[in-house]
Amino acid sequence: MNAKVLGIIVAVVVVIIAVSAIYLAQRGAASPQTSAQVSPTGSASTSSTSRGTIYVIYDIGGRGDLSFNDMAYLGASRAAKDFGLQLVELQSKTQDDYLPNLRLAAKSNPTLVVAVGFLMTDAVKEAAKEYPNVHFAIIDGYVPNMSNVLSIQFRENEGSALVGALAALTAYYFNCTKVGIVLGMDIPVLWKFEIGYAYGVRWAQRYIAEHFGKNVTFTIYYVYTGSFNDPAKGKQAAQAMLAQGVCVIYQAAGATGLGVFDAVAEAGQAAGRTMGPPFAIGVDADQDYIKPGFILASMMKRVDVAVYRAAQMAASGNFSGGVLSLGLKEGGVAVSTLDDLNQFLQLGIQAGTVKASDAQQIVQEVQQMRQSIPQWIWQAVDQLRQGIVSGEVQVPLPTTREQLLQYRQQLGLVGSG
């Protein structure tokens, strides 16, 4: 009896070892640089303790999300190299992991602890209270009145103005005068997207009048879906806009916006096209890869720039709490480029979420689409960017509902759905 038990155990052990060896051999072949990277840093952590440490606490989802978490990694790894810091990454399985992860990081006397994403606001507030001597930075969140917390915010209105201009000029090129924006919940953060976008569209209108002597009046539709995680709702909203003749739709609705991409790509494919019009415009990360050919560009929040800047402040001893506002001037927001797409896909390949062969295909399709948009449009958008950077052009920023309604009327936004 006992011999039999032993036999079974040995058999299982052998099978496990064999399977894991095969798995690891494959993985090792696929990404030799990752494993090579890990071990030296691992051993360095035990030998030299004098080096400062930068901790990055990821949101649920972690690396490979091709969004905030990956960008945070990018910024942190660059900062680690430039400022001689050791990078330690901690994943969060659920929101219950945020606080324990922050505490772990804070206990080791780090140079900086970066919390990726506004979902960690509560946890950062708590951890910052418990560890007043540790420097924290929270991306996209707001923790007021704490001298050891840097709240990094983005001037989304500026980036949205650029994609607004891009949307309107592209629409004009395709003989269309209607553009739209699909938003998530009706909260102050999103007002920045709505008004910034509309401002950009009106700027483009003036640009067209100036350069082509044509008076075009764009109709700007907007809709608040009331949710950030309902792609079906986003699709419905986008379909309603497309039915009204809208040809470029900007989404600022989180996962709800994925439905906008679906609707736009389906409408384009139904018309027998492999690229827009109609077009969608992505948000937050470089989303051009999601429906290649149908996503004109994305309004990126450069989390990598944000993390790098915070690390720079902490490493040079200039860290101070409060709000760090990043706009076009600081490179905190930007319209995605083909280089951004390449970099993102590389990150995706590294994290195992994108296949190398798919990446090549995606880049080709996006490149083709971008080449079909005339050069003067990109130049015009760049002109607006320069205007905003130099301070010549001021993009309105609504902070109260009264202001929102006022800007909405001024810029002539039309509610949809």
Partner 1 sequence: MRGFLDSLLSLAVAIAVGAVVAYISGYNPLLVYYSMFVVPFTDVVYVTSALATATPIILTGLTFALGLKAGLFNIGAEGQTYMGALGAVIASYLAASALALPLSFVIGISLAVAWAMVPALLKAYRGVNEVVSTIMMNWIAYWLVIMEASTTFSNPMQPSETIKMPPSARLTPLVPGTSLTAGFFVAVAAALLVYWLLERSVIGYELTAAGLNPVAARIAGIPQSRVVIYSFLLGGVTSGVAGVLQVAAMPPSYSLATNLANVYGLGLDGITAAMLGRGNPLGTLLAALFLGLMEEGARHMQALAMTPFEFVKVLQGIMILVIAVRMLELWRRR
Kindly list the residues in this chain that would bind partner 1 in the complex (CB under 8 A).
1, 4-5, 8-9, 12-13, 16-17, 20-21, 24, 28, 35, 38-39, 41-42, 45-46, 55, 60, 62, 88-91, 93-97, 99-101, 103-105, 107-108, 119, 122-123, 125-126, 130, 184-185, 187, 227-230, 254
Taking the least distance from each CB to partner 1, the nearer of 103 and 329 is: 103
SS3 38: helix
Our CB check for partner 1 shows the closer of 107 and 211 to be 107
Task: Return the closest-CA partner of residue 201 out of 245, 160, 257.
Answer: 160
- Which residue lies nearer to partner 1 by CB, 82 or 96? 96
Nearer to partner 1 among residue 75 and residue 184 (C-beta)? 184
Least distance in angstroms from the C-beta of 123 to partner 1? 6
Nearer to partner 1, 65 or 340 (CB): 65
Q: How far is the CB of 21 from partner 1 (least distance, A)?
A: 6
Long-range Cβ pairs for the range 130-135 (8 Å, 24+): 130/103, 130/106, 131/103, 131/106, 131/107, 134/105, 134/106, 134/109, 134/110, 135/110, 135/111, 135/314, 135/319
User: Which lies closer to partner 1 via its Cβ, residue 16 or residue 209?
Assistant: 16
Q: Least distance (Å) from partner 1 to the CB of residue 417?
A: 18
- CB closer to partner 1 out of 189 and 313: 189
CB closer to partner 1, 185 vs 313: 185
Calculate the dihedral angle through the C-alpha atoms of 221, 222, 225, 230, rounding to the nearest 10 degrees. 70
For residue 2, the minimal CB distance to partner 1 (Å) is: 10
CB of 92 to partner 1, least distance (A): 9
Nearer CB in complex with partner 1: 75/110: 110
Q: How far apart are CA 177 and CA 168, in angstroms?
A: 7
List, in order, residues 6 or more apart from 398 with CB less than 8 Å away.
188, 191, 192, 195, 404, 406, 407
CB of 89 to partner 1, least distance (A): 7
The sign of the dihedral angle between the CA atoms of 60, 312, 326, 179 is: negative
* Least gap, CB of 102 to partner 1 (angstroms): 10
Q: What type of residue is 10?
A: V
Name the 3-class secondary structure at 326: strand
CB 121 to partner 1: min, Å: 8
Rounded CA gap, 26 and 302, in Å?
34
Residue-wise burial string across 294-312, b where 16 or more C-beta atoms lie within 10 A, e elsewhere: bbbbbbbbbbbbbbbbbbe
Burial class (CB in 10 A: 0-12, 13-18, 19+), 92: buried
For the CB of residue 115, give the shortest distance to partner 1 in the complex, in Å. 13
Q: Shortest CA distance to 76 belongs to which of 92, 61, 54?
A: 54
> Of the candidates 266, 262, 343, 263, which has an alpha carbon nearest to the alpha carbon of residue 302?
343
Question: In the block, which residue shows the tokens 């900086």?
Answer: 112
Residue 114 CB-density burial (10 A; 0-12 exposed, 13-18 middle, 19+ buried): buried
List of residues 6+ apart from 180 with CB closer than 8 A: 220, 221, 222, 223, 238, 241, 246, 248, 249, 250, 416
Q: Least Å distance between CB 128 and partner 1?
A: 12
Which residue, 142 or 378, is less far from partner 1 as judged by CB?
142
Q: Which is nearer to partner 1, 90 or 349 (CB)?
A: 90
Provide the minimum distance between the beta carbon of 146 and partner 1 in the complex, in angstroms, as a whole number: 15
Contact (Cβ atoms closer than 8 angstroms) between residue 352 and residue 180: no
DSSP 85: P
